[in-house]
Structure 1
């Protein structure tokens, strides 16, 4: 019984192979997107204007050849510019299998667009920022204890002056990380947009997330500074110290001392006759917040 079952399964398997071989020998028509790559003779020039970054091709060929093109080879069409001229036009009807690396049995039915028009200008360089496209979430009881850090933070790009004037930054590819409970470093890269218009070094970008456990910490007798007191005015603040209850990342709070925590009251915000509650302000490290403070009431004594 087992032997008969094995023979039956083998028969079905071989049937599929023969059916696939026959099917792939037949001709099919597909639509293929082929990236366009522009190669300039000198770094002093840059491509300008609107032109397609991809060609849409309709191809007819045996299944085997189409399978190879679609899944087993890198497809792109390269235009090599010998001399930049004011108006360069390339007719896509001149594209052949040899230029694309296609097998000889592939027939190119149509290519869109029919014309590729290019213009050129002097190239310039500019240093711009990289910004992360980042979606993240943290486990309960954890925070991001410092700003998101990128290495490198900026990159030099080269292109036409007209284009560079419109670009201040480039994004990374979107990164998604969730339920984080420890620091992480993620490697990504800049989104390859405007590939024929911009030239820049294709280097990896590392994104660092300083994830820390949330803890509380008490600081006692933190000095309160009185700022923006007019010259010649004698003002006394009572009391001049405050106790703080802080919440933040475990490593940040572990290194935080009273003398590195700035608490102040801005005299400009309170008139001499004001009886409103005087509230201190806090200058704290990233991710640290004040849960509570004591005393709640402060008084300004102005000496005549």
Structure 2
């Protein structure tokens, strides 16, 4: 046993004295003084290839805090190019035996713009796969549903919402209540009032329910026209959560036919579309198609 351990130590020692090349990701952070902010397509990380003795390469994972941390003292709006390899070579303070061979991307196109803050709605980027017999009821809820974001004015003005981190929930048969993080896609050039938010998703056993004699509505109807529908009501079967269906009133189900579709139709009958509570779905409609007669108002 001792001879085996000695052989292993010698083998490791000999191999770690050889020269190797490895590739490592290095996070990118661009810092600029307010009232300015960084704009442009700045990657979250660089792909850096190093060459060196095995012992030195190990230090990349143990001793060095590797990051591309670039500080800018802006006086006005500006635009310039950063040479990533030159910056890393001059600022990582590595041993002479540890070399930066290549960096991708080789340049960063940095643009300095005015700083702005605004509240942005959050969008849950989640996928929920329920167990058989269960389903999502309603829409996922976030608390808070918006956060304050600070950054370059041109980025914020085009931002209508911001995603959460991408999460998949499998084999779900109960409500989801947990903390999640916002996406890190622009974390190196934007500031956020908070990174962590609460997610709530209602999960219920699946059920079905019939609703009879639901009146059909004609939408986009001109003031000088009226439409006679044959028949004027439908029977609808909905699928949804058991508690959700128990609370749905017939008034919460709206079958409708767009007058513009009637004008474009050549068959004489159309299928109604439905407005129904989120999380429920239409299983069947009787009758499936509705005939119509267009009349002019006098």
Give the TM-score normalised by structure 2. 0.69
State the structure with more CA Rg: 1
Residue correspondence of structure 1 range 69-218 to structure 2 within 5 A? 69-70=60-61, 73-85=64-76, 86-88=78-80, 90=82, 92-93=85-86, 95-96=88-89, 99-100=91-92, 102=94, 104=95, 106-112=97-103, 116=108, 118-217=110-209
| Distance (whole Å) between structure 1 residues aligned to residue 44 and residue 150 of structure 2 | 18
2:52 aligns to what? 61
Residue 213 of structure 1 deviates from its aligned partner by: 0.5
Uncovered stretches (5+) of structure 2, i.e. residues with no partner: 224-230, 263-267, 289-298
1:90–1:12 Cα change, 3 Å? same
| Distance (whole Å) between structure 1 residues aligned to residue 114 and residue 192 of structure 2 | 16
Would you tell me which structure has more strand in proportion to its own residues? 2
Give the TM-score normalised by structure 1. 0.68
- Residues 56, 98 of structure 2: 8 Å contact kept: no
* 1:248-299 deviation per Cα after TM superposition (whole angstroms, max 9, x unaligned): 21221344466x6556888x899xxxxx999998764333456678999xxx
1:141–1:79 Cα change, 3 Å? same
Residue 191 of structure 1 deviates from its aligned partner by: 2.4
- Residues 224, 262 of structure 1: 8 Å contact kept: no
Residue 100 of structure 1 deviates from its aligned partner by: 2.8
2:29 aligns to what? 37
| Distance (whole Å) between structure 2 residues aligned to residue 219 and residue 87 of structure 1 | 63
1:201–1:23 Cα change, 3 Å? farther
1:72–1:263 Cα change, 3 Å? same
* 1:16-39 deviation per Cα after TM superposition (whole angstroms, max 9, x unaligned): 233123322333232333222111
* 1:167-220 deviation per Cα after TM superposition (whole angstroms, max 9, x unaligned): 323323321122222212354322222334322235124433322101245678
Alignment: residue pair count: 285
